[in-house]
Chain A
Amino acid sequence: QEQLQESGSGLVKPSQTLSLTCSVSGASIGNGDYYWSWIRQNPGTGLEWIGYIYHTGNTDYNPSLRSRATISVETSQNQFSLRLNSVTAADTAVYFCARGPRFYDILTGNGKGNFDLWGRGTLVAVSS
Chain B
Amino acid sequence: DIQMTQSPSSLSASVGDWAIFTCRASRSIAKNLNWYQHRPGKAPTLLISDTSTLQSGVPSRFSGSRSGTDFTLTISRLQREDVATYFCQQSHSAPYTFGQGSRLEIK
Give me the interface of A with B, judged by CB distance under 8 Å: 4, 46-49, 60, 62-64, 96, 98, 101, 105, 111-121
Q: How far is the CB of B62 from chain A (nearest CB, A)?
A: 15
A113/B91 in contact, CB under 8 A: yes
Interface residues of B in 57-83 (CB under 8 A from A): none
Closest 6 CB pairs of A and B: A113-B91, A47-B98, A111-B32, A49-B96, A62-B95, A114-B34
Q: Which residues of B contact A98 (CB under 8 A)?
A: 44
Total B residues in contact with A, Cβ cutoff 8 Å: 27
B44/A118 in contact, CB under 8 A: yes
B43/A114 in contact, CB under 8 A: no
Does B10 interact with chain A (Cβ within 8 Å)?
no
A47/B101 in contact, CB under 8 A: yes
Instruction: Pick from B43, B49, B55: contact of A118, CB below 8 A.
Output: B43
Q: Which residues of B contact A115 (CB under 8 A)?
A: 34, 36, 44, 46, 89
List 22 contacting pairs A-B, 8 Å CB cutoff, sorted by A: A4-B43, A46-B98, A46-B100, A46-B101, A47-B87, A47-B89, A47-B98, A47-B101, A63-B95, A64-B95, A98-B44, A111-B32, A112-B49, A112-B91, A113-B91, A114-B46, A114-B89, A115-B46, A116-B46, A118-B43, A118-B45, A121-B43
B95/A111 in contact, CB under 8 A: no
User: Measured between alpha carbons, how far is A63 from B30 in the docked complex, in Å?
Assistant: 23
Give me the interface of B with A, judged by CB distance under 8 Å: 29-30, 32, 34, 36, 41-46, 49-50, 55, 87, 89, 91-101
The residue of chain B having its C-beta at the shortest distance from the C-beta of A98 within the complex is B44
The residue of chain A having its C-beta at the shortest distance from the C-beta of B87 within the complex is A47
B43/A49 in contact, CB under 8 A: no
User: Measured between alpha carbons, how far is A4 from B45 in the docked complex, in Å?
Assistant: 12
CB contact under 8 A between A119 and B43, given known A112-B32, A114-B49: yes
A46/B44 in contact, CB under 8 A: no
Of A60, A101, A105, A113, most B-chain CB atoms within 10 Å: A113
Q: Which residues of B contact A96 (CB under 8 A)?
A: 43-44
